[in-house]
Amino acid sequence: MAPLNAVAVPPRSDGEDLLHFLVDRVPAVLWSTDRNLRFTASLGAGLAPLGLNRNQVIGMSLFEYFGTRDPAFPAIAKHFKALEGHKSFFEFQWNDRVFHSRVEPMEGPDGEITGVLGMAMDITERKRAETALQESESRWKAVVSQAPSLVMILDRDARIFYLNRPLRYLSIEGAMGHTTLELIHPVYHTVVEEAHRRVFETGGTEMFDVQTRIHAGRPVAWFRCRVGPLYRNGRIANLIVMATDITEQKRAEEALNNSLVRMRQLAARLESAREEERKRIALDIHDRLGQALTGLKLDLASLASRLSGDREGRRRLRCTSRSLDDTIQTVREISTELRPAILDSLGLKAAIEWQAREYQSRSKLRFRLDLSADDDTLNPDLSAALFRTFQEILTNVARHARARRVNVSLSSGPNRLTLTVADDGKGISQKALSDPSSLGLLGMRERALAFGGTVDFRGRRGRGTTVAVSVPRSLKTNRKKSP
């Protein structure tokens, strides 16, 4: 059985028929003329698109076929040159078809020119494809030229061979042939090289920010780059880079970050000043008001000894004395709340122990403490910040957690100090963590950030909440514990 689309080939013994068979299937037009430019033969599969059959134009002159005797008509002019002994190649359009043509002189046995031999390849479809490609490229370039981003096409060595607009301080012509690494700051070379490698290997896309090289008198520019593959014949041949200028955005971010740093520095100074003011007021209350109340207590005792016979007077003095005792205790509590003296005299660990005992005595909370860190050389401001954070955590536990047990640990690594407080309450929700009105949580974060630290909140419903405050120990002082 013959295969599908098979062609019946004449027996090989018939050489002339086989030659005609092959010529009739060549996608071209082959012809010959005599010296008067009358066709003597016309063959080839290229005749069909012209509406002609094999040898249909034999006897017709070239002038009759083209409908003109103008010697400057391109096809006629080339045939005249062939009769003069010259070979010619030319493109020619006829009947909405485009042909790549060749004509040459045909010689007889004695070397005399007897006519013209011609062959024309039908390149219409190729020309249409080229035109479509050119139009497509023109449309693409028109669109890309108006794009807000820089568009570059790179070869496998990351050299630029297309750019839709000039770079800063570099024309399109000046950029051609340069590698992208020559245009960016050296600190980003590895990032860019790795991104290019991954695109060639995976066919995916990569995104990264880069900074241009620093040149005298030229401001630095930032670009956000997206790199993807360009394919040719099914393989990645080039890279296309879309680079958006984000210089102003980076400057705005830098200004915002600087503003945040200044705000945090100001907040830290205000917090330090507030702690100093609390300490001063607490000492004043403890020393001056406490001493005054103690003096009144001694005066009442002296007065009571003089009223031995006045039972009513002694009773009133006892009531007054008890009220005075309550007032002295209240003054001590206010002084301690303002600034626990134990924090300054014995340090952070002792202050945490004292605060835990205070909460345990006033509530149903039970504490487990593991305070293994060394706080001997801890900066006083950092100690105060950690203690205030601890107080804020306990306030939240008492108000919201519905917890029964609280585990507190203070641990230290080579360069960091970590305070961890974990309760067994209902667990903080993600909604509460992201609530901008949660000023207590925001205050903890800002207090830690002021010292280069972090606060991590982890909560599971019904499993409690863990708060971990981690700060660097870089701020140190030579303060020693009081004996």
Given 245, 261, 285, the domain boundary residue is 245
Per-residue confidence (pLDDT) for residue 330, from 0 to 100: 78
Per-residue confidence (pLDDT) for residue 463, from 0 to 100: 86
Shared domain for 382 and 482, answered yes or no, is yes
Residue 328 lies inside a defined structural domain of this protein: no
Sheet of 206-211: strand order equals 160-163, 150-154, 235-245, 222-232, 206-211
In this structure, the chain runs to a length of: 483
Shared domain for 375 and 470, answered yes or no, is yes
Whether residue 388 contacts residue 336, with contact meaning beta carbons closer than 8 Å, is answered with: no
Identify the bridge partners of residue 207 per DSSP, sorted by sequence position: 226
Angle 370-372-375 from CA coordinates, rounded to 5°:
125
What is Dmax (Cα atoms) for the chain?
170
DSSP string, 115-180: EEEEEEEE-HHHHHHHHHHHHHHHHHHHHHHT-SSEEEEE-TT-BEEEESSPBTTB-HHHHTT-BG
Domain boundaries, position 79? 15-127
Shared domain for 123 and 201, answered yes or no, is no
Residue 159 lies inside a defined structural domain of this protein: yes
Angle 119-122-126 from CA coordinates, rounded to 5°:
140
Residue 430 lies inside a defined structural domain of this protein: yes
Per-residue confidence (pLDDT) for residue 474, from 0 to 100: 66
Q: What are phi and psi of 473, to 5 degrees?
A: -95, 15
Shared domain for 357 and 469, answered yes or no, is yes
Angle between helices 247-284 and 311-338 (to 10 degrees): 160
Shared domain for 107 and 176, answered yes or no, is no
Residue 340 lies inside a defined structural domain of this protein: no
Report the C-alpha gap between 348 and 386 in whole angstroms.
Answer: 8
Residue 37 lies inside a defined structural domain of this protein: yes
CATH number at residue 356: 3.30.565.10
Per-residue confidence (pLDDT) for residue 410, from 0 to 100: 93
Residue 161, C-beta contacts closer than 8 angstroms, at least 6 positions apart? 153, 154, 155, 176, 177
DSSP string, 61-95: BHHHHHT---TTSHHHHHHHHHHTT--EEEEEEET
Shared domain for 90 and 151, answered yes or no, is no
For 93, the token pair is 């359009």
Per-residue confidence (pLDDT) for residue 347, from 0 to 100: 87
Residue 390 lies inside a defined structural domain of this protein: yes
pLDDT by residue for the chain (483 residues), tens digit each? 444 444 444 554 455 666 666 777 778 899 999 999 999 999 988 888 888 998 999 999 999 999 999 999 999 999 999 999 999 999 988 888 899 999 999 998 888 999 999 999 989 888 998 888 888 878 877 777 777 788 889 998 999 988 887 776 677 787 888 888 888 889 999 999 999 999 999 999 999 999 887 665 566 789 999 999 999 888 999 999 999 888 888 888 888 888 877 877 777 677 767 767 777 776 667 667 767 777 777 777 777 777 766 777 778 877 887 887 778 777 777 766 777 777 878 889 999 999 899 889 888 889 999 998 887 778 888 888 898 899 889 988 988 888 999 999 999 887 889 999 999 999 888 888 877 777 778 888 888 888 888 999 998 888 899 999 999 876 543 333 333
Q: Using CB atoms within 10 A of its CB, is residue 242 exposed (0-12), middle (13-18) or buried (19+)? A: buried
Shared domain for 360 and 480, answered yes or no, is yes
Buried (b) or exposed (e) across 305-319, using 16+ Cβ within 10 A? eeeeeeeeeeeebee
Per-residue confidence (pLDDT) for residue 1, from 0 to 100: 43
Per-residue confidence (pLDDT) for residue 465, from 0 to 100: 93
Q: How many domains does the chain have?
A: 3
Residue 311 lies inside a defined structural domain of this protein: no
Shared domain for 217 and 89, answered yes or no, is no
Given 209, 224, 245, the domain boundary residue is 245
Given 196, 224, 245, the domain boundary residue is 245
Shared domain for 471 and 359, answered yes or no, is yes
For 119, the token pair is 């062959």
Residue 132 lies inside a defined structural domain of this protein: no
Per-residue confidence (pLDDT) for residue 115, from 0 to 100: 94
Shared domain for 161 and 204, answered yes or no, is yes
Shared domain for 375 and 482, answered yes or no, is yes
Please tell me the pTM assigned to this model: 0.47
For 72, the token pair is 């400057």
Shared domain for 206 and 93, answered yes or no, is no
First-to-last CA distance in the chain? 112
CATH number at residue 240: 3.30.450.20
